[in-house]
Amino acid sequence: MDHLFNKLKKHHESNIYPFHMPGHKRNMKNFGNFFQMDITEIDGFDNLHHTEGILEEAQNRTAKLYGSKEVHFLVNGSTAGLLSAISGCTQKGDKILMARNCHKSVYNAVYLNDLEVEYLYPETISGINIAGGISSKKVETLINKDDRISVVVITSPTYEGVVSDIESIAQVVHKYKKLLIVDEAHGAHFGFHPYFPKSAIMLGADIVIQSLHKTMPALTQSALLHFNIDKDRKEYKKVKEYLSIYQTSSPSYLLVGSMDYVTELMIENRQELFEQFVEHLVNCRLRISRLKNIRLFGNENIGKHDIFELDYSKLVLDVSDTTINGNQLYQRLRNEYGLQLEMAAGNFGLAMTSCMDTIEGFRRLVYALKEVDHRVVRTEKLNRTLYNVSVKSVMSISDALRTEGKKVDFDKAAGCIIKEYIFLYPPGIPFIVPGEILDEQLIKKVREYQKQELNVQGTFDKDLKVIEVVR
């Protein structure tokens, strides 16, 4: 039996190139021997839950770098930040307005705080079948519809790099004296070069959560919560209280140290690193865009489907009108070329890039895609989508999860109110949530995805042979 630690060592020693998170791309030579720096809150190293020394200084430097009023280091990922932000900005039973394509941690915050939900549904982009952006017009329409809404939660950029017009959304939200929380987990690199969009921090969002580890050279689980609200607001104090609840009382100093490392790296070498990164990325995107069969999701989509901008660091490789699906592309690149993509969906594969990628890595990707492109055949676009299946909600998430349930055969569960989430992982965005009615169309789509060997999961049974429903 191969032990995990040994398998990690073997993977590190292999020639597999990481077009996936974390953003350090296993290229942190200056970070030294990890085990030698693994400490706890000893004298001189401050306390993450009550910062007043070296950690306070580190967080202040990071806030200055990003332009926020205050930063809190997160060692439990953006999940801890989203749970804390939503819990701290709402009261039990409040109503929030959230994008339907939010991460499952937002849904967990809804459950934990007994919140009511109004959904913002982004358009599904036909062909490639990914979610578009959120418009300020939709936000205003729904806030006008129900004044009980206290908080708006938007994901921008999305997992695939779709960016919404956060500045306009913030103006609408503040016009009605509500709070705007932006899940910017995939946008920690925003604002460091004009090739990339501005961060929501600079566009009026009240609280912004970023996963440093996703697109920057920090260790996995490293994230930031940015405050743009004043310290005298009750929400500020409550969010801080929830941070002490949702974060471990024994934070890893390796994670915290890697966040400070990113800050120092950006202060000292940002221009050099990002100019080189953008040069390589632009060239890579140009060469991929010239392929005959595999298409690169790009500029032609801006201004459509409420897409305000795109994060070009995400290489969304569209195979919707070829004879292969996203998983087959993913497997070919891994098995034949030693290139590990971030994820695969029905119609595309996703490669994540960062300022730590090498020119050799980009060259290997272009070479491999050229070869695969020559071997695939164009065909009519195939319907491999799951996100545009509509469902009906009849119970709140909290009520459904707290109601007694029973397990039934998934294929025979049409018409049942489910007590589980069903989602594609990554990224962990639910297709259906507790309290909604499962129908034949969704059951069929789930089985189609499983046939394509995509990772569709349910809460209890990973194979979805059975599902728990409201009794």
**Dihedral angle, C-alpha 131, 134, 139, 142, nearest 10 °:** -20
Question: Comparing C-alpha atoms, which of 398, 385, 315 is closest to residue 354?
Answer: 315
Whether residue 228 sits in one domain with residue 178: yes
pLDDT of residue 385: 54
Whether the pTM exceeds 0.85: the reply is yes
Asked whether residue 35 is domain-assigned, the answer is no
pLDDT of residue 9: 77
Distance CA 173, CA 154 (A): 11
Range of the structural domain that residue 336 is part of: 4-20+269-375
Number of domains composing the chain: 3
Residues 346 and 386: beta-carbon distance below 8 Å: yes
Which portions of the chain are predicted below pLDDT 50?
386
pLDDT of residue 138: 98
pLDDT of residue 463: 83
pLDDT of residue 193: 98
pLDDT of residue 188: 99
Whether residue 127 sits in one domain with residue 241: yes
Whether residue 317 sits in one domain with residue 243: no
Give the three-class secondary structure for 227: strand
pLDDT of residue 403: 95
Among the candidates 239, 260, 281, a domain finishes at 260
Whether residue 208 sits in one domain with residue 154: yes
Asked whether residue 421 is domain-assigned, the answer is yes
Whether residue 456 sits in one domain with residue 346: no
Whether residue 170 sits in one domain with residue 83: yes
Angle at 100 between CA 99 and CA 105, to 5 degrees: 85
Written as one string, the DSSP assignment of 182-226 is EE-TT-TTTTSSTTSPPPGGGTT-SEEEE-HHHHSS--TT-EEEE
pLDDT of residue 418: 96
pLDDT of residue 29: 66
pLDDT of residue 149: 98
Q: How is residue 76 annotated by DSSP?
A: S
Q: What is the enclosing helix (H) or strand (E) of 236?
A: helix 234-246
**Domain at 458, CATH number:** 3.90.105.10
**Domain at 103, CATH number:** 3.40.640.10
Whether residue 213 sits in one domain with residue 186: yes
Distance CA 154, CA 183 (A): 6
Whether residue 305 sits in one domain with residue 352: yes
- What radius of gyration do the chain's Cα atoms show? 22
Among the candidates 260, 286, 314, a domain finishes at 260
Q: Are β-strands 295-296 and 207-210 bridged in parallel, bridged antiparallel, or unpaired?
A: unpaired
Whether residue 407 sits in one domain with residue 362: no
Written as one string, the DSSP assignment of 276-344 is HHHHHHHHHHHHHHT-SSSEE--GGGTTSTT--EE-TTEEEEE-TTBSS-HHHHHHHHHHHH-EEESEE
Whether residue 250 sits in one domain with residue 318: no
pLDDT of residue 389: 59
Q: Which parts of 90-117 fold into alpha helices (H)?
A: 104-112
Whether residue 251 sits in one domain with residue 365: no
**Domain at 347, CATH number:** 3.90.1150.150
Distance CA 229, CA 46 (A): 25
Whether residue 209 sits in one domain with residue 150: yes
